[in-house]
Amino acid sequence: MLRVYSLAKITKPVGQGASESFWLELMAVGKNTSKGHYIVANEYICARLGSFLGLPIPPFALLQQKGGSGLWFGSIDYCLTGQTLPPIDPAECVKEFPDISTGIILFDTWVANADRHEGNMNMDKSTGRPAQLNVFDHSHALFGSEDGKGIDRLNDLKDKFSIEGGKNEPKVVTPYLGAAAGQNRHCLLDALNTSDHFEKWHEKLDKLPDFFIQ
């Protein structure tokens, strides 16, 4: 699917090459480690893995200010209208994108993302092309956002589902989850009503190369 992202400004020509290249300025949403030691790592690893699998994660990069020392995770702005898109409607998302919705659920289970709520997904219908789904914000996945947890969180959640429970769940499936995973019940979990695409995404995850994960 063709995906288009926001171009903030065309500045000056690069000044070399026959194809007349220009310097471009892009807008990006960034996070650093000021609110958690693992946030940049969680975002970058999940974005790499999710993009490799084919999930609609906006282009991203690790960034550093000139003369600075701290790393940022930057996600390129995807909103072409210049206005913030509303949170996803789970029922509409599943109806429009049943395949990708299945992939998001399995991916979030795999990376122990217990914070997939309506606000960290959206759908852009303004492009004149088919609606564009955007999936972002993995700062609470993998090693979690709590300093000092890290790999212990992954070990605690091994062989458990991290997406069922949390503080806003309509029901507690596993009592353990409220304390261990502890964010939000996955926003697509109760909306998805088909298993047609499950095997496809399970196979993708199962065949993801070890070298890429490493």
Per-residue pLDDT of the chain (214 residues; tens, 9 = 90+): 567 777 888 999 887 777 789 988 888 899 999 888 999 999 999 999 999 999 999 999 999 988 878 899 999 887 766 667 789 999 999 999 999 999 999 999 999 998 999 999 988 887 667 888 999 999 999 998 777 788 998 888 888 888 886 544 444 444 334 444 456 789 999 999 999 999 999 999 999 999 999 9
Q: For residue 3, what are the contacts with CB-CB under 8 A and spacing of at least 6?
A: 56, 78, 132
How many other C-beta atoms lie within 10 A of the C-beta of residue 149?
Answer: 16
CA–CA separation, 137 vs 117, rounded Å? Answer: 10
Per the structure, the count of domains in the chain is 1
Q: Is residue 98 part of a domain?
A: yes
Q: Is residue 2 part of a domain?
A: no
